Structure 1
Amino acid sequence: MEAGILLMAAGLSRRYRKASGGQHKLLASLGDGETVFARSLRHAQASGLPVRVIVRPEDEALHRLAQAAGAEYHCVASGGLGESIAAGVAATARWPGWLVALADMPALHPHTYRQVASALDQAPSARAFYHGRAGHPVGFGAALFTALCQLRGDQGARSLLADAPPQAVAVNDPGCLWDIDLPAHLPQADQ
């Protein structure tokens, strides 16, 4: 069994909602009509790795999209990314490792997930890098299970990465850097 992907979709997206008049950024439409969430999930699933979506209980539209795509999801009323990661890792405790990916990164290619997952065979953590810039996903091996389950706050796993820098995985995927924080970012993510 290989590492699985935790597709993080439990954020509140305050900046995007404010700039868009209240729209949920993961439900925003890309140029072809596919939503940000649907494309991010499709790319994660195309990697061939197990995928678990981490979503807020009240985001029923995301629940339906995940179900329609045949994806498992786990609800968490998250106080931040760290808590969401902890809940996702605990819910998938049998996985040998986890790739933390953000659902607002629809340009992230399936092969990037596979490259980072493969790097976990050699290192306790690994991270995609494009032209020297750190991106996503970030992978963690089973040795970090307890530390991941103890994460809290909105800093995600930064504290773990500061203590033990991840193996850099050079990828040919600019999509590992592009996330959607504002409506103006949508056209760039659709490239």
Structure 2
Amino acid sequence: MSKPIGVIVLAAGQGSRFRQVAGDEKDKLLADCTGRDGAVRSVIEHVLVNLPTELDRRVLVTTADRPQVIRMAKAYGCEIALVESTGMGDSIAAGVATCAQLNGWLMVLGDMPFILPSSIEQVTAQVMDDCISVPVQEGDYGHPVGFGRDFGPGLMALSGDRGAKALFAQGRVVEVAVDDPGVLWDVDVPEKLVFK
């Protein structure tokens, strides 16, 4: 029997660095990019397509002013958690609170469209109650990051712009070696829409 683990897609950030280059009206989550499968989709759709099908509890955390992102997420079976703050800590807390009864949570960043599904599966397979699983590409920690159920209270207590990095000191970290530069590749500026 598989343990129920939820996916929390963090998609509330406003992408200010991207907007500085592309223009204030440009939402990076809706920008087109060619995925590693060769298909052209929006950044957020690539993220949603790459999620393993066996993770059926999916929550996308975003702000109410992103109706296209919300529609896309619902089309891919996500529940929506709306936040007013764009801080990473607030988003993580809201996402975990939506499905707090699960055995673990996989934090997926909405602006990382080039992660291989196999890397997500490897990280998910290492989620255990008392540990944090993180992909490692050539010595660097990447995303997504999996948290076991013991970290639920700590995740729900996060707030503001601070993410979950402080929780790494409170438990066992399982490093999952991957051969996937996509785990380090976020779309923070328009040039990063092209994966090299």
TM-score, normalisation: structure 1: 0.91
Alignment match, 1:76:
83
Task: State which of 19, 27, 31 in structure 2 corresponds to 1:28.
Answer: 31
Q: In structure 2, do the counterparts of structure 1 residues 115 and 86 end up closer, same or farther at CA, with 3 Å as the change threshold?
A: same
CA distance in 2, matches of 1:65, 1:79: 19
**Length, aligned pairs only:** 188
**Counterpart amino acid of 1:107?**
F
TM-score, normalisation: structure 2: 0.89
Alignment match, 1:110:
117
Task: State which of 12, 26, 49 in structure 2 corresponds to 1:10.
Answer: 12
State the 4+ residue runs in structure 1 displaced beyond 4 angstroms.
none
Task: State which of 82, 86, 99 in structure 2 corresponds to 1:92.
Answer: 99
SS in 2 for 1:125: strand
Report the structure, 1 or 2, having the larger helix content. Answer: 1
Q: In structure 2, do the counterparts of structure 1 residues 123 and 5 end up closer, same or farther at CA, with 3 Å as the change threshold?
A: same
SS in 2 for 1:30: strand
CA distance in 1, matches of 2:106, 2:183: 13
Alignment match, 1:48:
54
Q: In structure 2, do the counterparts of structure 1 residues 167 and 18 end up closer, same or farther at CA, with 3 Å as the change threshold?
A: same
**Counterpart amino acid of 2:11?**
A
- Pairwise CA RMSD: 1.6
**Counterpart amino acid of 1:13?**
G
CA distance in 1, matches of 2:143, 2:43: 16
Alignment match, 1:185:
192
**Counterpart amino acid of 1:182?**
V
CA contact (8 A) 1:180 1:186 kept: yes
Give unpaired runs (5+ residues) of structure 2: none
**Counterpart amino acid of 1:5?**
V
Deviation at 1:165, TM superposition (A): 5.6
Alignment match, 2:134:
127
SS in 2 for 1:151: coil
Give unpaired runs (5+ residues) of structure 1: none
